[in-house]
Amino acid sequence: MNRRSFLRTAAVLSAPLVAAPLAPIPGALAQAVRGPASENSKSNPRSESARRIEKATAAAVAMQRRDWEQGILAQALLEANDRERVILLTKAAIVQRTPDGRLGVVLSGGTTDPAMGGAAYAKAAEWTKDPQIRLAVDELLDWIRVKAPRNADGVLYHVFGAPEMWSDGFNGAPPFLAAMGFYDEALAQIEGFRQRLWNPEKKLLAHIWDDGKRQFKDGNFWGGGNGWAAAGLARVIRSLPRERRQDRERLAAFAREIVDGCLQHQRADGLFHDVVDQPSTFVETNLAQMLAFAVYEGVAGAWLPASYRAHADRMRAAAREKMDAYGYVQGVCGAPDFDRPGTSTEGQSFCILMEAAGSKAAPAHG
């Protein structure tokens, strides 16, 4: 079901609350959220990244999560080399396992959303040698490869009960399939989504295609969807072996077009609007984090020019300004309906992903 509207249709929502400024944090809690008083972020940028990763993680693990949220957090912590928490998240996802093989499912879940954590869950299986985790990963892979609903061409649908393909899907099945060595299947999914959602003139992806009606259900260029795609492509490119140079180059060109298309609509403050080409929509934080992650990955992997690092640094600086004293990244497309600014597990996760990638790709800048 469409996660941007699920709770809107499932229950009566109360009127939105107006967020009040955070009060000063007293005592030991203040020390905990600020980190050691002696830390100087300008002189020790790596420590600043580590501090922000820990703050964002602490906030994220306190949040209630659904299948894709559990998965992207597990992936973020994998990128941050936090093995213990990856294993814990994996074992927790298995508790919410469905008979068809999906992991981390609360409420109804989406068809491919659990795959967002697939690569991280597979690493947990590798590290622990736990047969229960290995079996769960194998059954999740079987769900994605064989059982999940798809069209006649094999392109996966994003929700149950409707033949819809979403831009979010670029970061679902393809990175998991590629991480598990099913490169052709990952590329086929990417191409299927691209054919239906890509606007070559705008260099942006529409959000939702209805494959039954052969028309867009949501033709808007949602920032989060383009961010999911850029991040997912970066992960697939990283998984492709060296001998698949042409595939890497083709995906790299596509990812660069998405980044460029978004950058055309970047605000003066370094952020973007929720629908990137519609200034009437709210200012949103997470796309900047998502693109920064993808760009840092691209620079580190040499499929983006080094000059792009400046774009990532600018987006990273803008997103850092949105972290509050408790570690929550404010102003992202917010849970649970993703139709207004707020906080979300995916916003926390991409803070971690951005900081981890930025620390590796640009040591001189943190």
Cβ proximity of 45 and 344 under 8 Å? no
Q: Is the pLDDT of residue 10 over 70?
A: no
What mean pLDDT, rounded, does the chain reach? 89
Mind giving me the DSSP string for 5-65? THHHHHSPPPPPPPPPPPPPPPHHHHHHHH--TT--TTT-HHHHHHHHHHHHHHHHHTS--
**pLDDT confidence tier of residue 129, bands split at 50, 70 and 90:** very high
Q: Which CATH number fits domain 63-365: 2.40.420.20, 3.20.20.80, 3.60.130.10, 1.50.10.10?
A: 1.50.10.10
**pLDDT confidence tier of residue 285, bands split at 50, 70 and 90:** very high
Mean per-residue pLDDT for 304-308? 97
Mean per-residue pLDDT for 276-280? 98
pLDDT of 361 reads 75
DSSP label of 366: -
> With pLDDT > 90 as the criterion, what percentage of the chain qualifies?
84
Mean per-residue pLDDT for 59-87? 97
Nearest-5° Cα angle at 289, 238 to 192: 50
Q: Is the pLDDT of residue 196 over 90?
A: yes
Q: How many other CB atoms are found less than 10 A from the CB of residue 188?
A: 18
pLDDT tens-place string over residues 342-359: 999 999 999 999 999 999
Q: Is the pLDDT of residue 228 over 50?
A: yes
Mind giving me the DSSP string for 164-229? EEEGGGGGSHHHHHHHTT-HHHHHHHHHHHHHHHEETTTTEE-SEEETTTTEEEE-S-BHHHHHHH
List Cα–Cα distances, 205 to 1, 90, 200, in angstroms.
20, 31, 9
pLDDT of 108 reads 80
